[in-house]
Amino acid sequence: MLVAGLARAYTNRGLKVRPFKPQNMSNNAAVTIDGGEIGRAQALQARACFCPPTTDMNPVLLKPESETGAQIVVQGKRKATLKAREYSKIKASLMPPILESFSRLKDQADLVIVEGAGSPAEINLRPNDLANMGFAQAADVPVILLGDIDRGGVIAQIVGTSVVLEMLDRNKIKGFVINKFRGDPSLFDDGLKEITNRTGWASFGVLPWFSDAWRLPAEDVMDISTRKGGRFKIAVPRLGRIANFDDLDPLVAEPDVTVEIIEPGQPLPGDADLIFIPGSKSTIADLADFKTQGWDVDLKAHVRRGGHVIGICGGYQMLGKTISDPLGLEGVAGTYQGLDLLDVETVMSPEKHLTHTSAIHLDSNEIVEGYEIHIGETTGEDCQNAWLSIDGKSAGAASKSGRVSGCYLHGLFSSDGFRANFLDAIHKIESGLNYEASIDDTLDALARHLETHLDLDAILKIAS
């Protein structure tokens, strides 16, 4: 979020800015204009710069598929699926493409703002580090350390980092920022002096809590939470491998909508108007977990009561009769029984669909913009009840009643006309939200927040 705010602030000053994150770990991906995928956070940062996202902005993306393994995406393309120990063996080979992408971005920009990952104090991970001090040394860029005071112990965070770093890395750090401060910042003046005295690093400011942060698209699965709004209630089961959940962001922003995240162990609520099943990085595994939670029983009871259901991408696949994985792409090869609420079948295939897509919502004739990022093809009788048209071809599927539907198109709820029609059709909710404008308004507010509380002139001066 701070990189997005800095990007917008320096862009508003007239600089040509680009974001960069050498290595990201997230299942919340964005499709780029050059046909690859990157972390959605970098797509937001690109938006802050008023430029389209490219794969060079996040050359290594790790997409977790299990507790110990992840899909490795390099410069936008899937390379392998590896366990953590296996990945550590190939990390050194990834620095050259990272530096190659960084070099291309430098050629395009006056300023590149690099986001690290985790903490530079994880010295057990320092050999072959790609995300923090390893990249800073390889690319010869200065570093600003951010301390999260909301978690407590921020003086120990920053001073402790100075203590454990090797001298070469410690000298790369030029200053620090205190983030998420609540209350009177002057009360921390003595804390700033102590940190500077003990580390030799300059303070670039104390940043108060930015209360509108929730209005920006969520970066990480840990960022999505229940947000109470109005009378229209959407229940979202938190899948273990939830992916591309940016579909929720426009719904969360609606003042008359309550989005409730249902944690494992909790039943799907009986008073929900809509059950929303989001995307998944491992659809078959999440389908099994869905049934283990008993959510399949709750879901069918919801439909019997006249409730509505929508599934996007992996959620769409789960709603069908079967999911076939003949090549074992998601584990053991076989055919798995779905939730049987749509008369469709999905067959997994190795080709990944990565496209920006424009569609027409057939009921309202509204144009929607979004993206597809999935493996598998879905066909069946309920595809005859398509509710979208893409390039003149039917897309999506719906039950005969129209109360259960699904599609592969992420991002369609960002289209104000479609979202308004959707909410009105289910519960007579009137939407006056201009979602895309609200994001830019929030980025501008964040930029002003940073201009007010941080020394952006001093930060710019240390850029190499």
pLDDT in tens, 291-312: 999 999 999 999 999 999 999 9
pLDDT of residue 354: 87
Angle between helices 40-48 and 2-12 (to 10 degrees): 20
For position 236, what pLDDT does the model report?
Answer: 95
Task: Indicate which residue of 302, 313, 361, 453 is catalytic.
Answer: 313
pLDDT in tens, 394-417: 999 999 999 999 999 999 999 999
pLDDT over threshold 80, residue 6: yes
pLDDT confidence of residue 67? 63
Question: According to the model, what pLDDT value does residue 368 have?
Answer: 93
pLDDT of residue 9: 98
Q: Between these two residues, 360 and 428, which has the higher pLDDT value? A: 360
Is 260 strand, coil or helix?
Answer: strand
| Mean pLDDT, residues 26-41 taken together | 89
Give the burial class of 190: count Cβ atoms within 10 A of its Cβ; 0-12 exposed, 13-18 middle, 19 or more buried.
exposed
pLDDT value at residue 313: 95
pLDDT tens readout for residues 182-230: 999 899 999 999 999 999 999 999 999 999 998 898 776 666 777 787 8
| Range in 87-96, 100-109, 225-234, 250-259 with the lowest mean pLDDT | 225-234
Structural domains of the chain sorted by starting position, each given as residue range(s) with its CATH number in brackets: 2-213+441-462 (3.40.50.300), 215-433 (3.40.50.880)
Q: With cut-offs at 50, 70 and 90, classify the pLDDT of residue 85.
A: confident
| pLDDT given for residue 153 in this prediction | 94
Q: What is the Cα–Cα distance from 289 to 262, expressed in whole angstroms?
A: 13
The sign of the CA dihedral 32, 225, 438, 440 is negative
Q: Is the pLDDT of residue 82 over 70?
A: yes
How many CB atoms within 10 Å of residue 381? 13
Contact 376, 353 (CB under 8 A): no
pLDDT at 455 over 80: yes
How do residues 142-157 score in pLDDT, each as one tens digit? Answer: 999 999 999 899 999 9
Would you say 202 and 175 are in contact if contact means Cβ atoms under 8 Å apart?
yes
pLDDT in tens, 242-276: 888 889 999 999 999 999 999 999 999 999 999 99
More confident residue, 95 or 219: 95
Residue 353: what pLDDT? Answer: 86
Q: Determine whether 407 is an active site residue.
A: no
| H or E element, residue 309 | strand 308-312
Average pLDDT, the chain: 93
Catalytic residue among 302, 308, 361, 410: 410
Residue 186's Cα: distance from chain center in Å? 34
Q: What is the pLDDT of residues 333-392, one digit of tens each?
A: 999 999 999 999 999 998 888 888 899 999 999 999 999 999 999 999 999 999 999 999
Catalytic, 313? Answer yes
**pLDDT at residue 351, as a whole number:** 86
State percent of the chain over pLDDT 70.
98
